[in-house]
């Protein structure tokens, strides 16, 4: 049949690569329309008061224990490089996320799958994992486009994936472990200097892994014990830093019982972010199908895991989520921004795929997965676009250009005021500024399009960051900001 022939022609890797390119291209474009905001100006505001290393010490002692995130922020911000190359961090993070997944999958392919997967397929899988992240996390804008958040939350995800790849290497390679062991140690120290969420995630789940080795295998590898000890020590430098303690002292501590209830609800909501996505479910089907077709390769991986029931898995899964949420919610009195949940949303979505796969694999009916697996390239080409994010992407494609024009005008107003030694800046409300710009684009003067354009692009702008300019005002020496609403 002609239709069957057409389907078979478009069900291939080339079509999927094309679909991925179409999906990712707008995210590259958005990076060039993006502008610094809010906390992005905090470090450069302090360079007159502190030397580079003096600033690291001051922030660690007085504000936060995130020593590595502060260090990287300072490298980009202190010289002013960030503000003239703001697109760069987004492109770097997109590439590094892809490359980290490629490194991890290459280790799995080498030591677990015995080179059964081609390099082309590894590239495809790495790109798809990047797309899965974009599709399932609560706030893509804070993961890739707002520098202050991205360097604190997305960068540690990259580090964690590289670390996971090295751990795979250590688990399967007996001789000459010195280089990967030292590399893993360095990455653990760096990772624990990024944010509290990833530190608690690694602590919680590494404890579960060690418990598994102790209870099931009756022996814990020496290198895992060493890395766990290093993880505990370096985590303390973050969790018990003077900056964290000082900052926590300014917040009222909440109720421990209330934190358990809120933590349970937030963990359920966290799961809903990815459970609602068709791409996640199809990824689950693909993983189960692939493992089923290659059970001989995965026998040693799932050998001991099969002893645990699905109920046991789910209890451990829920417990790890609560151990992660409850301490943070208790210390912050229930406050946890979505940007902090981006990284754990992705990691728990992958953990759940592993939990379900390991539980259903012995009972798998290959014929049930056959149709899904045979048309995987075509289905993936479609499903990567079947997400709530697509509305944000299309809206941002329409409104991003105008956002860029308006933000350039605002930035110019701040710079001109500083050059003239003035301390007051006036500009139009965002909607009014957009309406003025639209007069030069009569083709866009249609109500349906205008309704989208007059709102800031949701992929690169969030909340009230348009007017959260306290650090920006300090940087430019502005004392009064007037926003005219028409």
pLDDT of residue 96: 96
pLDDT of residue 1: 46
Beta strand 424-428 pairing with 480-484: parallel
Q: By three-state DSSP, how is residue 1 classified?
A: coil
pLDDT of residue 262: 85
Long-range residue pairs from 17-25, CB within 8 A, at least 24 positions apart, any chain: 17/124, 18/381, 19/380, 19/381, 19/382, 19/384, 19/385, 20/124, 20/127, 20/128, 20/131, 20/384, 23/131, 23/384, 23/385, 24/94, 24/127, 24/130, 24/131
The CB density around residue 421, as the number of other CB atoms within 10 Å, is 7
Among candidate residues 130, 125, 133, 134, the one with its CA nearest the CA of residue 286: 125
Phi, psi of 482 (to 5 degrees): -110, 120
Q: The dihedral of CA 286, 291, 294, 298: what is its sign?
A: positive
The CB density around residue 371, as the number of other CB atoms within 10 Å, is 10
Q: By three-state DSSP, how is residue 137 classified?
A: coil
- Report residue 293 as tokens: 């077709």
pLDDT of residue 254: 62
**Rounded Cα–Cα distance for residues 186 and 177 (Å):** 14
| pLDDT of the chain, 486 residues: tens digit per residue | 456 676 777 778 889 999 999 999 999 999 999 988 888 888 887 777 888 888 888 888 888 889 999 999 988 888 788 888 999 999 999 999 999 999 999 998 888 887 788 899 999 999 999 999 999 999 999 999 999 899 999 999 999 999 999 998 888 876 568 888 899 999 999 999 999 899 999 998 888 888 877 877 778 888 888 899 999 999 999 888 888 877 766 666 666 777 888 888 889 999 999 999 999 998 998 888 888 777 776 666 656 566 667 777 788 888 888 888 888 877 776 678 888 899 999 999 999 998 888 777 666 666 666 777 788 888 889 999 988 788 889 999 989 999 999 989 988 988 999 889 988 888 888 888 888 888 877 776 677 788 888 888 999 987 666 767 777 888 888 888 888 876
**Rounded Cα–Cα distance for residues 143 and 99 (Å):** 17
CA–CA distances in Å: residue 63 to residues 50, 241, 244, 247, 396: 15, 9, 6, 6, 34
* Spatial contact of 323 and 204, defined as CB atoms under 8 Å apart: yes
DSSP assignment of 230-292 equals HHHHHHHHHHT-HHHHHHHHTS----HHHHHHHHHHHHHHHHHHHHT-HHHHHHHHHHHHHHH
Length of the chain in residues, anyone?
486
DSSP tally for the chain: helices H, then strands E: 25, 2
In 315-431, where do the E strands start and end? Answer: 424-428
**pTM for the predicted model, two decimal places:** 0.91
Q: Tell me the chain's radius of gyration from C-alpha atoms.
A: 24
pLDDT of residue 362: 64
């Amino acid at each position: 049949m002609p239709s069957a022939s057409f389907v078979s022609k478009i069900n291939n890797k080339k079509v999927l690569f094309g679909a991925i390119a179409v999906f990712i291209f707008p995210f590259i474009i958005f990076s060039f329309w993006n502008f610094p905001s809010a906390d992005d100006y905090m470090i450069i505001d302090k360079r007159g008061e502190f030397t580079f290393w003096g600033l690291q010490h001051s922030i660690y002692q007085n504000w936060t224990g995130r020593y590595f995130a502060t260090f990287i922020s300072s490298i980009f911000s202190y010289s002013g490089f960030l503000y003239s190359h703001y697109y760069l961090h987004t492109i770097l993070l997109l590439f590094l996320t892809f490359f980290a997944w490629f490194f991890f999958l290459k280790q799995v392919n080498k030591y677990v799958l015995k080179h059964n997967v081609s390099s082309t397929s590894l590239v495809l899988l790495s790109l798809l994992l990047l797309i899965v992240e974009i599709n399932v996390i609560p706030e893509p804008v804070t993961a890739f486009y707002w520098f202050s958040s991205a360097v604190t939350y997305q960068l540690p995800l990259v580090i964690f994936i590289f670390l996971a790849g090295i751990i795979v290497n250590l688990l399967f390679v007996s001789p000459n472990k010195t280089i990967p062991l030292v590399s893993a140690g360095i990455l653990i120290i760096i990772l624990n200097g990024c944010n509290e969420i990833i530190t608690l995630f690694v602590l919680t789940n590494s404890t579960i892994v060690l418990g598994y080795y102790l209870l099931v295998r009756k022996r814990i590898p020496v290198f895992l014990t060493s890395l766990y000890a290093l993880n505990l020590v370096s985590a303390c430098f973050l969790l018990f830093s003077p900056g964290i303690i000082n900052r926590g002292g300014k917040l009222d501590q909440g109720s421990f019982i209330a934190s358990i209830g809120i933590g349970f609800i937030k963990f359920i909501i966290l799961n809903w972010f990815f459970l609602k996505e068709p791409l996640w479910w199809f990824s689950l089907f693909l993983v189960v199908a692939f493992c089923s077709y290659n059970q001989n390769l995965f026998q040693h991986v799932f050998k001991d895991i099969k002893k645990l029931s699905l109920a046991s898995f789910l209890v451990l899964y829920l417990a790890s989520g609560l151990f992660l949420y409850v301490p943070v919610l208790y210390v912050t009195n229930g406050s946890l921004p979505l940007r902090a949940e981006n990284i754990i949303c992705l990691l728990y979505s992958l953990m759940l795929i592993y939990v379900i796969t390991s539980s259903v694999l012995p009972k798998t009916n290959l014929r049930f997965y056959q149709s899904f697996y045979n048309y995987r390239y075509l289905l993936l080409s479609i499903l990567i676009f079947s997400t709530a994010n697509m509305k944000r992407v299309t809206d941002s494609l329409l409104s991003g250009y105008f956002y860029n024009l308006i933000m350039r005008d605002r930035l110019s107003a701040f710079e001109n005021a500083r050059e003239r030694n003035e301390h007051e800046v006036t500009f139009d409300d965002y909607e009014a500024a957009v309406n003025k710009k639209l007069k030069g684009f009569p083709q866009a003067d249609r109500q349906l399009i205008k309704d989208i354009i007059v709102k800031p692009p949701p992929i690169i702008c969030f909340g009230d960051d348009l007017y959260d300019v306290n650090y920006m005002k300090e940087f430019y020496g502005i004392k009064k900001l007037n926003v005219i609403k028409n």
